Amino acid sequence: MYFEFGQALQAGLDCAGDVGPDEGAVFGWVRHRAGEPPSLRVEGRPGEPVGTVLLVTGPRHDVRVGEGQAVTGFSLVHEVPRDAPGRLLIIAAGPQEAAVDLLAYDLPADVEEAVSSREWGANFGVLHAWAGSRGGAPAAAGGGSGGAGSGLFAAWLDRLPRLAAGGDWFMDFRRVRALVMPDGEVVVSGVVAAPGPAGERVEASGCALVTSPGGPSLPIPLEGEASVALEGGFVLRGRAAVPPGAALEVVVQLRQGGQAWWFRAEPSPETLPRFLGALCLDGAELDGPDPGALYAWLRGVLAGRVAALRGRLAGLALRGGPARPGGTALLFDVNDDLAARILSLLAPELEARFGRIVLAGTAAGRAAAGLLRRGRIEVIVEGDARAALAAAGRAGGAVAPIDVAALVDAAIEGDPSRLTANALPAERLGTLAALHDVAGTGEMETTLRRAVALMAGADAGALPMPAQRPDALGGLVAEHLRGLWELVPVAGAAR
């Protein structure tokens, strides 16, 4: 509905209704003099304003403007006035102020319907702002007329394209990835398939959508949200506080010049090197100012990661000590027949020093067969290193992580005692899992191998890093990985 308050001030209202028992919403636009942006509020009685829960403004390109004019679209969520006969929208721009009685006109009152049919950028702006508004989130999730769980934005969200983990092609982009780390750190990145005019950069923003089992979908902010504007791609990074068992999605908006895209991304759990690869757009050929812009941005992001993790890494000390007889040997990389043969050769020594052995790797079953036939030690076989670590922890006592390289050295040197030199109490094995979550350089097997080397006296800076892109960006990522491990205190007995 259109309202004119003179040549310098007009307004159009798209809807005015309730989004819950305690909140109402007004969507519309204001045409005003350029340089005099409007202020808006709702009053129950003249001169008695009610609380503004959320006010989001932005351009409205669908409304005509004349010379010297501008149009501001708005989405205003307000408290429902109590014990008040009316509901007034107050619009002020420059020296002029006008009031619209929202109950005196036959305005559309179905806010959910208005959200479903309005411009997607306006919806994203409200959802993004609402994610950071503690008071507004319940209404956004389940306060609409459809009942709990339907949500004010549900119908619109259901229409958005969906990205599961990533894809070589998605919408107008290539190599799109959505990844999440165990602590909720998220990255969504991709490359523009057909770059636009020079100078037009892709602006990315997003918020998280968290769905608990049997509960509504709640919009929450990406804490520390950061993105870099590139001509040939985009990178969006943040952290989502996800409750245990809840599902995570990221609602993303991309804008480049006059184009815009919106989609929902379901991040998949990933190792840190691949996560960092998505941060630096590995595999992408960047031109023009993009490499420098991405390098400067990534350098700041990685410095922030180090600062945030410094205290946590300092508390994850690797303190190994000699194992007493009867403990657990954790062999986590039994991946070939050579490892199985070496294990068979050292079986008597292992049986004398340990009460049980936990094996993991592609050849673990074959290696276990010989030990089982001997019948002198408890043997546990797990599918991967993470499961093996958990099994060793459940066994209790002291646990000696042993890699195949140490087995080979012990066999060659004839000194099996080195295998028991750096055991950890079972209750400290969580340190290894935590190290993998925040600083892992590959799969859990790689993290355990690195921990074994450090406790044996290796220099953290000299240990190999996973391959990165062969440029300055790749060097920055490799240095970040090395730097994280250099923050880990090590106190073990040399083998």
Which residues, including other chains, have CB under 8 Å from residue 431's CB and lie 6 or more apart?
316, 317, 318, 424
User: How far apart are the C-alpha atoms of 340 and 364, rounded to whole Å?
Assistant: 7
306 domain-assigned: no
Three-class secondary structure assignment of 81-140: CCCCCCCEEEEEECCEEEEEECCCCCCCCCHHHHHHHCCHHHHHHHHHHHHCCCCCHHHH
Q: What pLDDT digit, counting tens, does each position of 145-184 carry?
A: 333 344 788 889 999 999 987 788 999 999 999 999 999 9
Report how many helices (DSSP H) and strands (DSSP E) the chain contains, helices first.
Answer: 14, 27
Q: Give the pair of three-digit tokens for residue 7.
A: 């040549």
CATH number at residue 120: 2.60.40.10
- pLDDT value for 142: 44
Which residues, including other chains, have CB under 8 Å from residue 66's CB and lie 6 or more apart?
none
User: Residues of the chain with pLDDT > 70: what percent?
Assistant: 96
Span 358-365, average pLDDT: 91
User: How far apart are the C-alpha atoms of 38 and 72, rounded to whole Å?
Assistant: 8
User: How far apart are the C-alpha atoms of 366 and 373, rounded to whole Å?
Assistant: 11
Confidence of residue 417 (pLDDT cuts 50, 70, 90): confident
pTM to 2 decimal places: 0.86
Task: Note whether 177 and 221 are same-domain residues.
Answer: yes
Q: What share of the chain is helix, strand, coil (3-state, %, to 5)?
A: 35, 35, 35
- pLDDT value for 493: 53
Q: Which domain holds residue 218?
A: 160-270
Cβ 446 vs Cβ 481: under 8 Å: no
Q: What pLDDT digit, counting tens, does each position of 185-231 carry?
A: 999 999 999 877 888 999 999 999 998 887 778 889 999 999 999 99
- pLDDT value for 360: 93
Residue for token pair 């089982």: 372
Q: What pLDDT digit, counting tens, does each position of 368-400 carry?
A: 988 898 888 999 999 899 999 999 999 888 999
Last residue of a domain, one of 115, 138, 155: 155
- pLDDT value for 147: 35
* Averaged pLDDT of the chain: 88
Residue 463 confidence (pLDDT) above 90: no
Q: What pLDDT digit, counting tens, does each position of 318-328 carry?
A: 988 888 888 99
User: Residues of the chain with pLDDT > 90: what percent?
Assistant: 53
Sequence length of the chain is 495
Angle at 169 between CA 163 and CA 173, to 5 degrees: 90
Confidence of residue 140 (pLDDT cuts 50, 70, 90): low
Span 81-91, average pLDDT: 85
209 domain-assigned: yes
Quick check: helix, strand or coil at residue 262? Answer: strand
Last residue of a domain, one of 155, 182, 197: 155
Residues facing residue 356 across a β-bridge: 328, 378
**Chain-centroid distance, C-alpha 308:** 15
Task: Note whether 138 and 170 are same-domain residues.
Answer: no
Tally the domains of the chain.
3
Residue 143 confidence (pLDDT) above 70: no
Cβ 249 vs Cβ 268: under 8 Å: no
461 domain-assigned: yes
Task: Note whether 395 and 341 are same-domain residues.
Answer: yes
Q: Are strands 318-319 and 490-491 parallel, antiparallel or unpaired?
A: parallel
Q: Are strands 247-256 and 259-266 parallel, antiparallel or unpaired?
A: antiparallel
Q: What pLDDT digit, counting tens, does each position of 476-494 carry?
A: 999 999 999 999 998 765 4
Task: Note whether 143 and 196 are same-domain residues.
Answer: no
Angle at 27 between CA 23 and CA 28, to 5 degrees: 155
Compare 19 and 480 and report the one with higher pLDDT: 480
**CB neighbour burial string for 379-409, b if at least 16 within 10 angstroms, e if fewer:** bbbbeebbbbbebbbebebbbbbbbbebbee
Task: Note whether 144 and 181 are same-domain residues.
Answer: no
Residue 138 confidence (pLDDT) above 60: no
Residues facing residue 252 across a β-bridge: 206, 263
Task: Note whether 196 and 118 are same-domain residues.
Answer: no
Residue for token pair 């420098």: 292
- pLDDT value for 482: 92
Q: What pLDDT digit, counting tens, does each position of 280-337 carry?
A: 999 888 888 999 999 999 999 999 999 999 999 999 999 888 888 889 999 998 888 8
Compare 463 and 72 and report the one with higher pLDDT: 72
- pLDDT value for 409: 85
